[in-house]
Amino acid sequence: MKINPTPLHTTQTILLSLIAVLTLSITGTASHTLDIFNKQQSSNPWWLPLWPQHFDTNGTKALIGAAVSTFVLTMVLLVVAVVPRFALKQKYTLRALLSLGTTLPAALVCLVTVIYAHILNNNSPELDTIQTWSCKYKNGRSLQQQDIPVPSHLGNGAFKSVCTESKFSLYATLVVFLLLSLNLAVSIVTWLADKWAMRQQRSEKNLEMGSTPSPEPQLRGSHLEMKMKKLLLQGDVMNYFVICISYLARRYLCKTTTDDSFQANL
């Protein structure tokens, strides 16, 4: 049964591209929420300026770090796998080891980060994260809604977007972990398919080499011709005709006889 590993390579490339896009999105959204918190926490009453210790932003920072590290590892594998210069399609074992060495650490980092962020979110209301606090008060009535003129950065108008982006960062990291796990499984299957396909190619080459008829040995008659010319010059016509008849008999009745074996009998 013939196996074509090309669709598996394409699937792996698609998975790596999706992971790269998601990690970039996670980095952008998590960085945006952390930037809003850092800018408004000390001045916006909705962020409790007098109690900054009430907020724990380590979960958001961990999401950013996990997304950046996963993006770097994914791009390394994607570039090496796609660029023809590296020719990893022929080096299927090296490709599998590289995929294992980049995908497995990234998957573990994402899993640990999701668990860590979830634990921090469960510490509310003793300690709040950006996600739990913004989602809790995103529907609160701000001073602008009460017709009191205040600057926009002193209200909770950005809480809805901060809540949505925080949730996206967390759940998208979980999706990245699932995609990395799937990519790890695809990498193993691809390695097995590449190995099987390479064995099939070698078997076919061996069969072709075994079925090709070996060419007949070329006759090298230089020494024989010199000896026959010598006989003619010496006037030994009888031996000349004997050699010719013997040569023709051996040439046409015994195909495997070469000039060297014939000359050895002279």
- Token pair belonging to 221: 């008659």
What letter represents residue 39's amino acid?
K
Task: Look at residue 135 in the predicted model and tell me its pLDDT.
Answer: 94
pLDDT, one tens digit per residue, over 100-129 is 999 999 999 999 999 999 999 999 889 999
pLDDT, one tens digit per residue, over 126-164 is 999 999 999 998 887 655 554 555 555 677 888 999 999
161's enclosing H/E stretch is helix 159-211
Task: Look at residue 254 in the predicted model and tell me its pLDDT.
Answer: 54
Task: Look at residue 216 in the predicted model and tell me its pLDDT.
Answer: 43
Task: Look at residue 218 in the predicted model and tell me its pLDDT.
Answer: 42
Task: Look at residue 8 in the predicted model and tell me its pLDDT.
Answer: 87
Contact 57, 34 (CB under 8 A): yes
Comparing CA positions, the residue from 41, 29, 55, 48 lying closest to residue 153 is 41
Contact 74, 106 (CB under 8 A): yes
- Token pair belonging to 162: 């901060």
**Residues of the chain falling short of pLDDT 50:** 146, 213-221, 255-266
